[in-house]
Structure 1
Amino acid sequence: VRSATYFSERNNVSLIIFVPSRASVVVHSFSLFLTYKFLPSRPAITRFGPPSDPFELGTKIDATYCDHVFDDCSANKKCKIRSPNWPGFYNRNITCKYWIRHYSPVPAGHRARIVVSQNNEYKISLYSGSTNTASGDHSTSTSLQSDCPLDMVRIYDGQTTESPVLIEFCGSGVLPPIVSSRPEMLIVLRSASNQILYNSRLELNVALKLEKVHDSAIGGERTGVCDLVYDGSKMRRGLIETPKHSIPANTSCTFRFVSPNSWDRIWIYFMSYFIQDRHHWSSEELCDVSRLEIYDSVLTSHPTNDSRQVHHSQQKHKLYSFCEKTSPKICGRAADANHYLPLNPCTYPNESYLSGGSELIIKQEYYKHYDFYVRRASFAARFEFIDTHQVGEQIDDKLCDRLFKSDGKYFKGRLSSPRNLFLYGRGGRENISCSYYLKGTDSQRTHSPPDATTDPKHMNHNMVFDMISSDVVLNFSVTRMSPFEDFNDYGFDASFEFVPAFDCNSGGLVQRRNGSEGEIQYSVPQTYNFRRDGPLKCRWIIEASFGKHLFLKFKGHLAISESDECLDANRFVVYAGDPRHAIATVCTKSTAAANDLDHANQLEEFDLFSTSWYNETDTFATFTANNIYNNYFESRVFVEIIAQELGAFSMRWLEVTKPFLRTQTGKTMRNINCKVECPEINACISDELVCDGISHCPSSYDENSQFCHKFPTLYVVAIGLLLIFSLLVILIVITIYRFQDKRRLRLSQSNHSSNNSRYNQHEPDYVDYGEYPRLGSELNFRSLHECHQIQYTDNGSMNGMPLEITRSFVPHYHNNVF
C-alpha cells in the first residue's frame, strides 16, 4: 500500500482517475481510497512560519511553473527552498530552478558565501528507483545517493548550468552543508516523466556565511575554482588552507608559489592535515578519498665569477605524496599562535619543508565517492619566501661571512645584512654574527659614503664610515633575539669604496716613547686636500706594560653632548675595549697654521685613564689566561685624530699603577711598588719619571724641589758601608802577602848557606838530576821575588871530547801552597 499527500497551491484541484480495461485488471489488483481536507485561507505556521518571522520562500519568476529567486538571505531573512506543492509530492516531468544571490555589502575583510543544508531527513525524499524510496518507508536507515537515473537535485556553484556542479543527489536523508565559492548559487530540481506514485518532496535551508579573508587569499591570484598563484615579488608570506567552500568531485586544487628571483626559497609548515580513513581496519593505503602532493622544483645552478649571478642549467621535481594513512610534517603549535608564529619556531627540516628552487607546488585531489557523509579532506599551512641572496664572496662554509676585494669586481659596491629568515629569531636562531671583510691594497683605505643606512625601521639613521686601513672587518652581531624578530628588526645596508690612502707617518708627525711615557704631536700638512679626500684620519695604538694602566693627557676639552660644535671640527677619538668602542671625544681648536704645535700645547688639558683602571677586580690573584686576555684589551687604547681643517694635535701618556690593591679575601693592601704617587689622580708613576725635569703629575708633584733636592741619606750610608768593606778586604790581603814574603826570604837564605858548604867540600863535578828540580818545577816558582841562580862549570871530557856543563836552577821547596 502506497500513500501520498498532495497540497494544492490554489483553492481548487481536479482529480482524474483512469481505470484500464477489464482484460488488463486482475481481481483485487486495483483499489483507491482518497481523503481530502479544506485548509483555512490564513497561512499555516508549519508551511510559512510564524507571522512575526515568516519564511522567505523566494520570488516566483513570471511565466514559469516553479522558478524562484532568493535575494540577500541572512539570519534575519530565513530563506527556504521548497518543491511545488510542499509538503506534498511534486508533479512528474517538471524542472524547477532556484537562484540564490547576495548583493548587499559585506563587512570589510570578509567574503559572502551561500550555504544550503537540511538536517531533517524527512524533508528530502526524491524517487531514485530503490526499494526504500519506492515504498516511502523511512523506518530503515536511508541516505542520499549520487547515482540518480530518475528524480534528482543538482547544485551549481554559480548562476548558470555551465557553472561547476558542487553536488548531485537523490533519495532520502540528511544533506550536509553545501557551500558556494561565491555569493551566488543555482539549484535545479528535476523529476522524471514517468514514475510510480511516490511521496516526493524537497525542502532546503538557505543561509549566508561571512568568511574572513586571509592575506593569502588577497595575495594569491585565482586561476580556477580553487587554483591560486602566489608571486614572491608581490607577496612574501601568508596562509594557505583547503577551500572553505564545497569542492566538486574529481577536482584538483593547486597552490603554486613562484618568485622571479632565483635565490628565493619557499618555506612551508603545515599546521593541520586531515583525510578520512574509510578503511581504518586495513594497513593498505587506498587514497580513495583525497591525496595531497608537493612538487619541489630544484634548480641545478653553477656560480659564475660574479657571485651575484648564477647560471641555472636544468630543473628537476621532487614529489611528496600523502593520503589517509600518511601525513606531512606537522607543526601543530603554530595553529594557536598569534599570526601563526609560535613562541617556539617551527624548525627545519624536522617540522617544515624548504624548496630547493624558486618554485613550489602543493596540489590536493578530491576523488568522487558515493558516501555523502565522508568528512571533507582539509589542511592548513603557512608559507614564506626566504631570501638567500648575499653579495660578496662566500668564505669557506660560513653562513653569512663575505669577502670584498678591491682588485676584483668590488672596487665599489654595496653590502648589507642577510635577509635569510633562518639566521634570525623567527627562523629558530637566538644569535647571529656575520663578518664582512673589505680588503684593499696597501695604498688604499676604505670609505663608506653617507648613504649607508642601518635599522630598516628607521631609515633616517645614516652613518658614514671613513676607515684608515685598507683591511677592514665589519661585524654584524645580534644576540638574544626573540622568536618574533627577524631582518625587519635588525639590519643594515651600506655602500663602500676603496680610495687612495694618506700616509700618516709623513708630514708634521712627532712621536716619542721613553720607557713608561710618550707623546704624539701632529700637524696637518698644508698640502692636504680636504675637498677631494675628505677628513684626514690617523690612528695609533698605545699599550701599557702588563699589570699597568694608561693615563692620557690631551690638549683640548671633552665633548659632552652631541651638539658640541667640535664634532664637526678637529678632534681626538679614543677607543678601547673588546669589542672596540669610543670612550671619549676630545675637541681641539683648529688653526690656520700647519705646524702650530706651540698653540696646541697652550690649550687646556683633558685627562683620561684606560678602562683597566676602573676594573674593581684588580687583585693579587693568580694571573690566569682569562685575566691576561682582559688586561690586554683593557690596558690598550686606540687614539684617532680626525681633522676637518688645518690644525695641530698634541697628547701625552703615562704608565701608572694603583697605590692600593685588593687581596683575594677582599682586604686592601699598599702596593709596595708604588714609591711616588700623584696625589691629584691617586696613581703611582714609575721611578724613572721622578725628578727628570718633566712634570708628569698634574700638579708637578714629581718635580717638587723639596722632593727632588733633599739629602740622600740612604744613598750616603750605602756608599759608606761599601767603602769600609773595601778597606778591610785590602788590609787583609796586604797582611797575608807580607807574611808570606818574609817566610820565603828566610827559607831562601837557609838554602843558600847549605849549598855553599857543600861546594866547599868538593862535591863531584857531575850534575845529579835527581837532586835538582826539573824544568816543570822551575816554572812553578818563577813568580817568587827572590831567586838565586847557581852556576856550575865542569871542565872535563866525555868520550875524548871536552865537556862543559852550565846549569841554572832555582832551589826546590816542598809543601808551599799559594
Structure 2
Amino acid sequence: MNIRHENIKKTVSSFQVLFDSFTLGRFTSFTEDGCPDGYMQIQEASRPQVGGSWCGTSWGPSIYYSETKSITLIIRLLHLSKEQNNYNFDFRMAYKVLRREYATVRYGGTPPSERPFFKLRPMPYPVNISRGEDTTVAKTTKTPEYYLGDLISGTYCSRIFSDCDRKNCRLQSPNFPGVYPRNLTCYYAVRQHEVPQGKHALIVVKQPNGQLVSIRSQKALYAAQQERGNNGRELKFWQQCDEVQDYVTVYDGYTTRDPVILRFCGGGVSVPEAISSGPELLVEFTTSPFGTFLQPVTSQSLHGFQLEVEVRFVDQQSPTYAKNKRACEFWIRGTGRGVLEHPQHSLPPNTTCLYHMQGIDTSGPSGRNIIYRRPSFSAPRFRVWFSVLKFYVTNALNPNLPEDEYCGSHLNIWDGPMRISPGCSDIFCDKERSVQMSRATSPQSVIVGRPPTNATLVARFCRERAPRTCEHALLRRSRACAKTESFLSKGDSLTLELKLTQGTALKPVYFKALYEFVDLHQDGEPWGRGSCSRRFASRSFPEAPPDPPITFSSPRDVFLYGRGGNRNISDVGDYEFTSLSTVAELRFDVVNMTASDDFRSFGFEASIEFVRLESGCETSHRVYGASGEMRLASSNPMSESMDDMVEVFSDGWSREVDPLARHVFASPSASDHFDLDWPRSLSVELIAVEPASYYVTWLELSRRHASSHGGVFALSGECEYRCASLDACIAADLWCDGIPHCPRGEDERLAHCSALLRVPAHYALMFLALTLLAAFAVITAARSCRRRRSALQQRLKSLSSDTAIFDEKEVIC
C-alpha cells in the first residue's frame, strides 16, 4: 500500500496515518522472532529500509507521522487462522495531509489559530487600571521554530547539530510525535564550533516537560499500571531498559567510545539534565526489531521523545570541567584564594575526581630581593586553608528519596599530596598521567588513580554526615570562617577526593568550598618577641661593594589580620648596617580590624638601601689588628643656616664639641709609657673645619709578663719584642717587617734584624763544627803530600848520573 500526494505543496509537512484498530497475527517478543504469523513494515521515500516490523492486536488509536512526502506500507500475512469468532488479520486506518504550520509539536512555532484576541479589536474601556502600570495590551511573540539538525546522507535518522547557542535545537525520535520505527539506531551529534575567547562550551540535553517523552520500557501488554499509582509515568535507567531494548544513550563526546553519562527509557516525567564536559555530545536512540501498537496504558498518545539542547559557557582556566574524559583531575596551585565547586558537567558512575591544591609561588622572578631566605628551612612557606560551605547529594527525579547505601557518594579531604606533581603549569595535567579505565559502553566507567601515599585523611563529607562546615559564609556580609569551622593543612599541599558511586545526571552531587594559600613568608630575619617583627642587617664588609636595594613588604599571613581572628597587629622592622652601627626602626600598627580585613586591606611595600657615605657626615669606623692606618676625610662644613640642617636627638646621645677647636688631643698629663690603666679600645673622632684628608696610624701594645716573685705589679726585665721608647711589647709579626713601628725604630735596627744574628744557635754551632773539620782535613792532606815529595828528592840524589830507567811505579808529587 502506497500513500502519496502528487501535487504536494511546500506548506505540506507530512502524512498523518491513524491506525484505529489493528490485528495482524501474534506478537511474541520484542527482540527475537516476534511476529511469526505476519508483520507490517513502513518505508519512507528516499530513506534506507530498516526492516522493523509491527504485529499483534491493538484497539486504541496509534498515529504515524511520515518524515517524507511518500510512504509505503508493506503487509505480509504468513499464517491465516481463525481465533474464536474473528480472523487474525484486520485493520482500519485513515490518513490525511498535514500542513507544516499546524505541526507545532514537531516543528515548533505558533499555530495559525493562536492569535491575540484583541489584535483587531481595541479595548473600548480600560480594565484593572492602577497608577504606575502599563495598560497597553502586550503583543504575543511568535515561538521560534525548532532546528532539527541536518540529516546525514545515507542514514534514516542520524543528524548533525551545530552552534545550538543561536538556534532552537531539538532532538527528536523519527516520526515524532507518532510511533517510531523498529530495528533502528539513530545518532544525534551536537557540536559547538564558536566559543567566546577564554570560555569553554558545555552541551546540555534535557526535557523538563515529561509528556514529550514516551519510550517503551516493559514487555507487559496488559499490566495494571494504575495499581502502581503513577499512571504509567516513570523513567527507567541503565539496565532497567534492557527488557524491551528501546532506550536513549547519552555519551560525553562525539563517539560511542566516550563515557556514558545517561541511559533512559519510559516517560511521563521530566528527563534530568545530561551535560557534556566539552563542546561535543552524542545521543544514541536504539529500538528493538519487533513491536506492537498495543500499550499497557493509554496515558498519552505521544510516542518517542523530544529533547532540548542548551549550550553553557564556563571559564576555560577554572576547575569546573574535566579536560580529560578518562581522568577527572585538577591542579590548583598559586598564592591566592578562590572558590571551589563541583564539576559543572555530568560524571559517569564509579568516578573519582581529585583536586590537588598546592601553595607555590608561580609568578616567577619578579625582581624582588628577598634576603636571608634559607632553602634548607624545613617549615613550608605556604599552608592551605580550606572551608567547606555546603555538601549534599540529591535525586534528580525525587529529592526526597534516600540514598541506596550509607555514604555512597562522598567527599574526602586529605592533608598532603596524593601523588607527585607532574610539573606542568596548567590547571589540567592530563598528559602527564596514565589511568586505567574500562570501555565506556557500559555505565560502569571506572577511573583508577594512585592510592594516597603521603596524605592523611582528615574529614569525610556525605549526605548523612558533615563533620565541619562554614555555612554562614554563604550569607552576604558574613564573618570569616573560624579555624574550628575549617581545615588548615600542615604542609603546603591538600587533596580533595570526590568519589561517586552513581552518575551525577541522576544523583547530582553539589559542594562549594573556599580555599586560600596562606603565605607564611616574611622578609628579613626574626627579631624580638613579636610574631611579625623582623630584622634587616647588612652583611657587607667596608671593602666589599654595598648590598643592592632590598624590597620588603608587610606580612601576608592572613591569620595576623582580622579575617584570621586578630583584631590588632603590631609589626616592627629593625634595620642595621653592621659596619656603621646605624640602626633604624619601622613600626606598622593596625588596630580595630574587622572580620573582613586582611593584608589586602592594610599593607605596605617599601625598599631600603644601605649607603656607605664617604664624606658629608660624621662617620665612624671600627678597625682591628696589631697596627694599621686609617683615612679620615671631611668635606665642606655644614652651613650655619638652620634651614639647611636637621638635628636628630635621642636618649643617650651627647655631642659637646667646641665648634672652634681644630685639634682634639688626649689629656696633656698622659704618659708616653704603657700603663695598665689604659682602656683596651680607643675612639678617634675627626672634627674638621676645612675639607681635607687625615691619616691616623695605630699600634697595639701589650704589657710585659709579671715576675713570679715580685707579685702582679713586678714586671720582668725584658720581653722578646719590646719597644724601649714605649716600655711595652708589640706583636711578633710587626718585628723586623720593614716598617718601623716603635717611635725610635728599635724594631727595625740591624742588631735585631740582621740575618746572621737571627740564625738559631744550634745551626750556628753545627756550621762552626763543619768548618773546623774541613780545615783540619785540608791541613792534614797538605802535610802528607809535603813529606812524600822530600823523600823522593833524596832518592834521586843517591842514583848515578847514567841511570836512565825509572820504575814505572814511582810517583813524583
Distance 1:61 1:223, change over 3 A: closer
- Letter aligned with residue 50 of structure 1: G
Q: Secondary structure at the match of 1:244?
A: coil
Say whether residues 1:227 and 2:328 are aligned partners: yes
Q: 1:245 maps to what in 2?
A: 345
C-alpha separation in 2, matches of 1:247 and 1:396: 54
Please give the alpha-carbon distance, in whole angstroms, between the structure 2 residues aligned to 1:643 and 1:44.
Answer: 110
Correspondence for 2:495? 361
Residue matched to 1:346 = 481
Residue number in structure 1 paired with 2:107: 48
* Alpha carbons 1:267, 1:383 under 8 Å: kept: yes
Q: Note the 1:151-300 alignment, pairs <5 A.
A: 151-173=246-268, 174-197=270-293, 201-213=303-315, 216-217=318-319, 222=323, 227-233=328-334, 236-260=336-360, 262-276=380-394, 286-288=406-408, 290-297=409-416
Q: Which amino acid in the other structure matches residue 413 of structure 2? A: I
User: In the alignment, is residue 419 of structure 1 matched against residue 539 of structure 2?
Assistant: no
Question: Highest Rg: 1 or 2?
Answer: 1
Question: Within 2, Cα distance between the matches of 1:475 and 1:146?
Answer: 68
CA contact (8 A) 1:430 1:479 kept: yes
Q: Deviations over 1:278-312 (max 9, x none)?
A: 99899997023x2111111189xxxxxxxxxxxxx
Whether 1:78 and 2:168 are equivalent positions in the alignment is yes
Residue 121 of structure 1: how far off its partner (Å):
2.5
Compute the displacement of 1:396 (Å). 8.5
- CA displacement 1:625-652 (0-9 Å, x = unmatched): xxxxxxxxxxxxxxxx9999979xxxxx
Is 496-505 or 382-391 further displaced after alignment?
Answer: 496-505
Amino acid of the structure 2 residue aligned with 1:180:
S
Partner of 1:477: 589
Q: Distance in 1 between matches of 2:491 and 2:359?
A: 9
Please state how far the C-alpha of 1:360 moved relative to its aligned partner. 1.1
AA of the residue aligned to 1:388: L
- Equivalent pair of 2:322/2:330 in contact (CA under 8 Å): yes
Aligned amino acid, residue 491 of structure 1: F
Q: Tell me how far 1:65 sits from its aligned partner.
A: 0.9
Secondary structure of residue in 2 paired with 1:85: coil
What is the alpha-carbon distance in structure 2 between the residues aligned to residue 644 and residue 419 of structure 1? 48
Q: What is the aligned counterpart of 2:184 among 82, 94, 117? A: 94
Q: Is the 1:285–1:324 Cα contact (8 Å) retained in structure 2?
A: no
Q: Distance in 2 between matches of 1:201 and 1:294?
A: 47
Going from structure 1 to structure 2, the CA distance change for 1:216 and 1:114 (only over 3 Å counts) comes to closer
Counterpart Cα distance in 1 of 2:690 and 2:417: 61
Residue in 1 aligned with 2:423? Answer: none
Q: 1:129 to 1:505 in 2, by over 3 A?
A: closer
C-alpha distance in 1, partners of 2:189/2:619?
A: 91
Aligned residues, how many?
Answer: 492
Give the root-mean-square deviation of aligned CA atoms: 4.8
- Partner amino acid, structure 1, of 2:73: L
What's the counterpart of residue 491 of structure 1?
A: 604
Cα distance in 1 for partners of 2:308, 2:246 equals 21
Question: Structure 1 residue 143: deviation in Å?
Answer: 2.2
Distance (whole Å) between structure 1 residues aligned to residue 186 and residue 567 of structure 2: 65
Note if contact 1:126-1:133 (Cα within 8 Å) is conserved in structure 2.
Answer: no
2:148 aligned to which of 52, 57, 65: 57
Q: More relative contact order in 1 or in 2 (CA 8 Å, sep 6+)?
A: 2
Q: What is the rounded CA distance, in whole Å, between the counterparts of 1:385 and 1:227 in structure 2? A: 23
Q: Is 2:414–2:455's contact at 8 Å kept on the other side of the alignment?
A: no
Contact in 1 for aligned 2:634/2:688 (Cα 8 Å): yes
CA distance in 1, matches of 2:340, 2:489: 16
**Mapped contact 1:257–1:361 kept (Cα < 8 A):** yes
Aligned pairs (5 A) from 1:786-805: none
Q: Give the 5 Å matches for 1:374-453.
A: 374=507, 376-390=508-522, 394=526, 398-402=530-534, 417-436=554-573, 444-446=579-581
Match of 1:113 in 2: 202
Q: Distance in 1 between matches of 2:276 and 2:322?
A: 19
Decide whether aligned partners of structure 1 residues 210 and 575 sit closer, same or farther in structure 2, where only a CA change above 3 A counts: farther
Cα shift readout 1:522-576 (whole Å, capped 9, x = no counterpart): xxxx964479xxx999xxxxxxxxxxxxxxxx97435xxxxxxx3xxx5313569
State whether structure 2 residue 642 is matched by structure 1 residue 557.
Answer: yes
Q: Distance in 2 between matches of 1:63 and 1:505?
A: 96
Q: What secondary structure is seen at the aligned counterpart in 2 of 1:418? A: coil
Amino acid in structure 1 at the alignment position of 2:246 = D
On the 8 A contact 1:240/1:382 being kept in 2, the answer is: yes
Cα distance, 1:146 vs structure 2: 2.1
Instruction: Say which SS state the counterpart of residue 338 (structure 2) adopts.
Output: strand
* Secondary structure of 2:171's aligned partner: strand
> 1:317 corresponds to which residue?
456
Give the C-alpha shift of residue 351 in structure 1.
2.1
> Where do residues 467-546 of structure 1 align in structure 2 (5 Å cutoff)?
467=582, 469=583, 474-488=586-600, 489-492=602-605, 494=607, 528-529=632-633
The percent of aligned pairs where both chains have the same amino acid is: 27
User: Contact 1:80–1:203 at 8 Å: present in 2 too?
Assistant: no
1:572 and 2:647 aligned? yes
Please state how far the C-alpha of 1:112 moved relative to its aligned partner: 3.3
The one of 223, 234, 238 aligned to 1:146 = 238
Change (3 A) 1:222 1:495: farther
Distance 1:498 1:132, change over 3 A: farther
Q: Is this contact kept in 1: 2:274–2:505, CA < 8 A?
A: no
Q: How far 1:497 moved relative to its partner?
A: 6.4
1:123 aligns with 2:212: yes
1:30 corresponds to 2:120: no
Q: Which consecutive unaligned segments of at least 5 residues does structure 1 have? A: 300-313, 447-466, 508-525, 538-553, 559-565, 581-593, 600-640, 648-818
Alpha-carbon deviation of 1:320? 1.6
In the other structure, the counterpart of 1:520 is: none
Change (3 A) 1:26 1:393: farther
Name the structure with the higher helix share.
1
Q: Give the conservation status (yes or no) of the 8 Å contact 1:229–1:258.
A: no
Matching residue's letter, 2:463 = E
Matched-pair contact (CA < 8 Å) for 1:571–1:643 = no
Aligned counterparts, 1:728-747, within 5 A: none
Match for 1:7 among 65, 75, 81? 65
Amino acid at match of 1:478: V
Q: Deviations over 1:7-59 (max 9, x none)?
A: 22234433333444367967658363322221234443333223663221111
> Are the equivalent residues in 2 in contact too, given 1:144–1:175 (CA < 8 A)?
no
Q: Deviations over 1:234-293 (max 9, x none)?
A: x622221011222222222221112456421111222322223999899997023x2111
1:145 aligned partner, one-letter code = F
- Quick one: distance in 2 between partners of 1:474 and 1:392? 13
Indicate the larger mover: 162-171 or 315-324: 315-324
Query: Residue 223 and residue 480 in structure 1: after superposition, are their counterparts in 2 closer, same or farther (change >3 A)?
Result: farther
| Distance change (3 Å), C-alpha of 1:264 and 1:180 | same
Secondary structure at 1:143 match in 2: strand
Could you tell me which amino acid in structure 1 is paired with residue 235 of structure 2? S
